[in-house]
Structure 1
Amino acid sequence: MSEGNHSSVTEFILTGFPGLHPEYYGLTSAVLFFVYFLTVVGNATVLFLFATNRSLHKPMYYIILNLSVCDILFSTTTLPKIISKYWFHSGAISFTACFIQMYFVHCLGTVNSFILFLMALDRYMAICHPLRYPNVLTNSTILILSISAWTIASALCSRLVIVAYPLPYCASNIINHCYCDHIGITMLACTDRAPYGFPAFLTAMVTLLGPLAFIIFSYICIIVAVSKTAHSQGCLKSLSTCSTQLIIISLYYLPRCFVYLASNVGITFNADVRIVVIMLYSLAPPMINPLIYCLRAKDMRESFLKQFRRITIPKKGQVSALKKS
């Protein structure tokens, strides 16, 4: 990797939201910090509940554990820098740091896609093949599949960085985004983007559409299987279990596929709209996921309430003891 290729560019400038008026910088940074705080606290709570309750050591919760780790890492990779831009007016990021951020953005996004695939697989086996579920999806199976997901994602995204890093960057260093990503960086290269842009696009589509195809197939099978059940209560319960996952999956996949396709087939739209859409599908699911799973998953909800009572009941006991004294 010769430094001469990019000697004229030593850092990149993240524009954030290009049309945002300076008077809203403080409010924007506060909102982003609040989103980051909720994301970290919510997902850290899931990790804490999993670590302190053996009743949660089941395949589905191992998948949620991976999702929480991925969400914390993604938010920590992307949000602090853009918060500092609006809080401290510091939008510059070093050349190498930008590529490191790009690696984690795409790696964690790919892992997230694979984890959603595992989540759909878990629901498919639990509802369509309940008798085989305990033998097929064991904790060790989920562990192997999770490690495979992280390994494959790391290998694919390492290749993106290895190919993009040595390209000649000799013109603009302004990235119209809130964080460094492959499209935003490579658009600035002083060379034809096609030889490396298309393979990157193909990789993105495979990692997105491959899991999405199975997710669609699995939920069609689930709906068919549930519709054949005689008990309407069981039917509604099964659909309720899957409905929240479908919302998260739709929020993750649909806007992402649209942005990737639009960027590569020449469809253009307002930069602010594009960035807002990307930030919504990037930051909303990590913030919402813990709330959904803590409220909808029975074991996790009971575990959370048990921990909450342990904190509040002693305090009430201390107050009554003080009154007696």
Structure 2
Amino acid sequence: MSERNSSRVTEFILTGFPGLHPEYYGLVSAVLFFVYLLTVIANAGVLFLFATNCCLHKPVYYIILNLAVSDLLISTTTLPKIISRYWFKSGIISFTGCFVQMFFVHYLGSLNSFIFFLMAFDRYCAICHPLNYAIIVKNANIHILSLTAWILSSSFPLNMLIRAYPLPYCGSNVINHCYCDHIGITVLACTDRTPYALPAFASAMVVLLVPLAFIVFSYCSIIMEVTKIAGFKNRLKSLSTCSTQLIIISLYYLPRCFVYLASVVGITFSAAVRIVIIMLYSLGPPMVNPLIYCLRAKDIRESPYLYSVE
């Protein structure tokens, strides 16, 4: 492939939701803007509460802090562009900008998976090893593990970016999605994408399934440990300490596993339905996670700033 041909594509076009009638563009952009605004306000509120309330400076809330920052970043990476697609009818994204967006989409998705791993680790130590909890799960250790998660999460998407960016893109520049992702971009390459798709798929499975395997193990261990506690109320109290994290983790993993399993067993979706499902599990949790923190986390719920607002 000549250099001239491989440099034809200088920008990409995001289609958004396929088949959406133009008369609904204004409504869709308004809904997406509302989702983005609520996500920013809710997660910024969590950051504000953390910064102004010393009683939240505990390991479990440092983990939640990381999740709030990640949720803010993933929404800011994806939503403004798709909002402008329908609000200003501008679906064009530069060649480099598309790859930058692709990197952050996969980077922050990987990061969330590792953060949920830390959440499960926190509850596992608290219930299964309560006597050693204060020693194992302390602020310094959570800071180290969180920093490791932020650094380690970049390796997989960086490898995708390095392999996908130099490919020759000389044909269609239309991406049938609301944002740039690895599959959406590489299917447009004028070459066989199999050598690039398989390592990317393997990396995605590692990032998704390894933390998920530990999460399943930890909560199975927690349930077994709780059954040893005398009294139904005591068991329920122990399980309630996990409920917040379990809800958040379920919102992240269950829809993703459903989509992957559906493709394995041969269940197919139209492009529009598939994109709607992806958008729901990508952008829904960042919006509702802070609400779950405030409703279920006692220290946040009892924050004096919440009462002052009321």
Scaled to the shorter chain, the TM-score interval is over 0.9
Cα distance, 1:189–1:55 mapped onto 2, change above 3 Å: same
Q: CA deviation at 1:240?
A: 2.3
Q: Secondary structure at the match of 2:113?
A: helix
Aligned residue in 2 for 1:249: 249
Whole-Å separation in 1 of the counterparts to 2:83 and 2:264? 29
Map 1:1-325 → 2, pairs under 5 A = 4=4, 6-260=6-260, 268-303=268-303, 306-311=304-309
Q: Secondary structure at the match of 1:65?
A: helix
Q: CA deviation at 1:15?
A: 0.7
Cα distance, 1:232–1:266 mapped onto 2, change above 3 Å: closer
Cα distance, 1:103–1:3 mapped onto 2, change above 3 Å: farther
Whole-Å separation in 1 of the counterparts to 2:31 and 2:6? 35
Tell me which amino acid in the other structure corresponds to 2:108. Answer: L
Native 8 Å contact 2:36 2:75 kept in 1:
yes
Cα distance, 1:164–1:243 mapped onto 2, change above 3 Å: same
Aligned residue in 2 for 1:319: none
Whole-Å separation in 2 of the counterparts to 1:308 and 1:65? 17
Provide the alpha-carbon RMSD of the alignment.
1.8
Q: CA deviation at 1:266?
A: 7.9
> What TM-score, normalized by structure 2, do the two folds share?
0.95
Native 8 Å contact 2:26 2:86 kept in 1:
yes
Q: Aligned pairs, how many? A: 309
Whole-Å separation in 2 of the counterparts to 1:3 and 1:227? 66
Cα distance, 1:265–1:179 mapped onto 2, change above 3 Å: farther
- Summarize deviations over 1:240-263 as a string: whole Å, max 9, x none: 232332232222113224445667
Tell me which amino acid in the other structure corresponds to 1:25. Answer: Y
Q: CA deviation at 1:267?
A: 6.3
Q: Secondary structure at the match of 2:13?
A: strand
Native 8 Å contact 1:6 1:170 kept in 2:
yes
- Structure 1 vs Structure 2: percent identity of aligned residues? 72
Q: Secondary structure at the match of 2:130?
A: coil
Native 8 Å contact 1:5 1:166 kept in 2:
no
- Summarize deviations over 1:279-316 as a string: whole Å, max 9, x none: 0100111011100011111111111xx1144456xxxx
Q: Secondary structure at the match of 1:119?
A: helix
Whole-Å separation in 2 of the counterparts to 1:308 and 1:266? 48
Q: CA deviation at 1:36?
A: 0.5
Give 5+ residue unaligned stretches, structure 2.
none
Whole-Å separation in 1 of the counterparts to 2:83 and 2:146? 31
Over alpha carbons, which structure has the higher Rg?
1
Q: CA deviation at 1:227?
A: 1.3
Native 8 Å contact 1:50 1:65 kept in 2:
yes
Whole-Å separation in 2 of the counterparts to 1:311 and 1:196? 52
Whole-Å separation in 1 of the counterparts to 2:87 and 2:258? 31
Native 8 Å contact 2:244 2:297 kept in 1:
no
Tell me which amino acid in the other structure corresponds to 2:126. Answer: A
Aligned residue in 2 for 1:315: none
